[in-house]
Amino acid sequence: MNKTAANIPRPPRVLGALALELAPGSSAARDAVPQADGGSLAALVAADLATFAPDATGLDLTLVAAHFDPVELLRPGWPLHQELWQLAAKAPRAPGGGARVLAFGSHAGQLPGALSPAPEYSGGPLRLLPFVLDGDAAAIARVSARCEADLMEEGMAGAGTALAAQEAFGMQVEHARYLTLHDLCALTAMQYEHAGLAPLWPLLETSLLSPAREAWLDAPPEPLLRYADGEVRMALFTHADWLARHAPDAADADEAARARLERLYAHFEARQRQLASLLRAHGLAVEFIHCRGDARAELEAPPAP
């Protein structure tokens, strides 16, 4: 599968996840497991990754023993992986010790830092256990290149790993594989296309992979959105202004046509709410801007003091 962006810069660490696809209609009994169970699972993950990319043997592997929805991983700045890496950096290292396998599990029902899955995203069919590989820069470059090229196609988890995850979390696992975050972007882009959300993906992708750039969704009849400076501004229109933008000949419409336009406007408002909810799930702030004239210019205008 092609990645969603060409010439993706190589990160200083490998950011990925163990992806667990649940059986249809099933759910997990637990969203996190204690430290001991997490350590056993992390050791299996480390062995799988070392088989796939031998250079991973010399890298630190850090795993959170909890599962998340894709929207919790795909947020600007990769905050979940960043938190995981920062916690690992604080963990003591044995003098002269080699590569570490670290797992952060629950203690008294609590996970450390900001590693707790959000209950509102717990029901999805794809659950992800984030991991970070860190260490020697040359080894990271080799492992990253190998993962970005082939992990999606060849990174099936071992049978023992899949069974351990299934038992630990009380879930029915149909497929278990490894993904990089860029693989997850590609997979999510495809899923959003199937769900009728393809117009939003380029804007969301920009926020993830090129956050300093600007991106627009300007494809009527879709809502008008602008991403810049880490947030999204969405144009709000009164019914009259929406008609002027989307149906300039509405004044000559008959009664049936006007009723249809009323329904289209209600659908437009529902679409705005849907897109705003999805963007917020991906960690983006959404500001609604009342627009009466040149909507693009109004979205580009600096906020009023």
At residue 58, the pLDDT reads 94
At residue 7, the pLDDT reads 40
Tokens of 147: 């993962």
Look-up of token digits 């992708």: 205
DSSP string for 251-272: GG--HHHHHHHHHHHHHHHHHH
Q: Which of 155, 144, 175 lies closest to 15 in space, CA to CA?
A: 144
At residue 109, the pLDDT reads 82
At residue 10, the pLDDT reads 44
Among left, alpha and beta (phi > 0; psi -120 to 50; other), residue 107 is beta
299, containing H or E segment: helix 295-300
Cβ neighbors of 126 (< 8 A, separation 6 or more) are 19, 20, 21, 22, 69, 70
Instruction: Show pLDDT as tens, one digit a residue, over the chain (305 residues).
Output: 334 433 444 458 999 999 999 999 999 999 999 999 999 999 999 999 999 999 999 999 999 999 999 999 999 999 999 999 999 999 888 777 789 999 999 988 899 989 999 999 998 999 999 999 999 999 999 999 999 999 999 999 999 999 999 999 999 999 999 999 999 999 999 999 999 999 999 999 999 999 999 999 999 899 999 999 999 999 999 888 888 887 777 666 777 877 888 889 999 999 999 999 999 999 999 999 999 889 999 999 887 66
At residue 270, the pLDDT reads 96
Among left, alpha and beta (phi > 0; psi -120 to 50; other), residue 270 is alpha
| Helices and strands (H, E) in the chain, number of each type | 10, 9
**Runs of H (alpha helix) within 112-254:** 137-154, 159-169, 181-194, 201-209, 239-246
How many whole angstroms separate alpha carbon 90 and alpha carbon 102? 11
Residues 90 and 49 sit within 8 Å (Cβ to Cβ): no
